[in-house]
Amino acid sequence: MPRVVPATVLARDVARALGAAGAPSPAGLGLVLADDRVLAELNARHLGQSGPTDVLSFPLLPPEQFPDHPGKAPADAVRGEGRTEAGFALPPGQVPLIGEIVISVERAIEQAATGRGGHTGDVRWSARDEVRLLAIHGTLHLCGWDHADPVEEAAMQALERGLLDEA
């Protein structure tokens, strides 16, 4: 599998997305760079969809554990002993793990090359930028963002573009 973006760049992108989404700091997540075969298997097993997709996120925390954002239904933060302001249950001295992201680098390269990138399906740019976008997109999903609601989708895309532009 070709290496299209350095791990340090992805780590910075993910860290900025975690901060923008109000994740606890520090926080941990897994980022797996795979191919279409792996994403097709995960897509079938976990979502009941056939064929590969570009990115899948597997959150460990429910969306209500993250701050509200445009388009998200407000939720009361759970607070109490052993919890942060955002409601995360934290074992003493442990970094909270928020989930795992799996990206198909193969799909990202194809989408970028054919002008079907950018999560709008009409962007032609480098495979590097497509993988970076997928890492940011997946991170936001782990932090309770979705794109089922049009307001939330627009806010999510604006945040993604802003985070990409920061680099």
Mind listing the pLDDT tens digit for each residue in 17-54? Answer: 999 999 988 889 999 999 999 999 999 999 999 999 99
pLDDT of 3 reads 86
Element (H, E) at 58: strand 55-59
pTM of the model: 0.85
CB atoms inside a 10 Å sphere around CB 50: 8
Which amino acid does the sequence have at 159?
A: L
Bridge partners (DSSP) listed for residue 140: none
End-to-end CA separation in angstroms for the chain? 24
Domains of the chain: 7-166 (3.40.390.30)
- Model confidence over 53-75: pLDDT tens digits? 999 999 998 887 787 777 765 55
- Model confidence over 99-122: pLDDT tens digits? 999 999 999 999 999 987 777 777
Report the chain's C-alpha Rg in angstroms.
16
Residue 151: phi, psi to the nearest 5? -65, -45
